[in-house]
Amino acid sequence: MSRIKPLVLAFIFFASVSPAFAGDSLAVMYQVRLNAIQDMNFNAVLDLSSARLKKQLLEIPEKDRAASSKIAKSMVPISYKVLKEDISPDQSKGSLFLEVLRKLPYVEKPEKQKVEVQFVMEDGKWKVDQECLDTCKNPSAPQTPANNMGSGNAKPLH
């Protein structure tokens, strides 16, 4: 019994730590980011964001970040289903295509939406670059920081 306790503690520790490494799938990174948004952890969201997106998020005045995080949390999908995951041949960019079920403000029933989440590889980790309804037609088009914070605490549909 005395050998089991350290193993259980080690399992709990490593299961709760979810580093964002290049080997992680885009779907795993999306869920890690959703968890950070659900926890309203602005710094964790920054760490999971590309340099471009991080710059946009840092434009949110510090006094408004809690409100912005609350808005992002309210946009968290109830559930999602991964439709497709594409990674460029050079492993520098990736896209995650999803179907999300989301309760939008001022809408009575949850709605299904198609979403593309674009990732870039930075510092050996996948970072979210932008999230778009349907597909991201113009990756350099500016997005609002609240939209780019995405949504958290969703459960996969599969």
Who contacts 7 (Cβ-Cβ below 8 Å, separation ≥6)?
none
8 A C-beta contact, residue 44 and residue 34: no
Overall average pLDDT of the 19-46 stretch? 85
What token pair was written down for 62? 């510090």
Q: What is the DSSP string of 41-77?
A: -HHHHHHTB-HHHHHHHHTS-GGGHHHHHHHHHHT-E
What is the predicted pLDDT for the residue at 24?
79
Here the tokens at position 98 are 């999803």
Q: What is the pTM of this model?
A: 0.72
Q: To the nearest whole number, what is the mean pLDDT of the chain?
A: 78
Is the backbone of residue 72 left (phi > 0), alpha (psi -120 to 50) or beta? alpha
Quick: pLDDT tens for 71-92.
889 888 999 999 999 999 999 9
| 20 has a pLDDT exceeding 50 | no
Domains of the chain: 23-138+148-152 (3.10.450.100)
Question: Could you tell me what percent of the chain has a pLDDT over 70?
Answer: 72
- Model confidence at 9, pLDDT cuts 50, 70, 90, reads very low
What pLDDT shows up at residue 138?
54
Give the CA diameter of the chain: 58
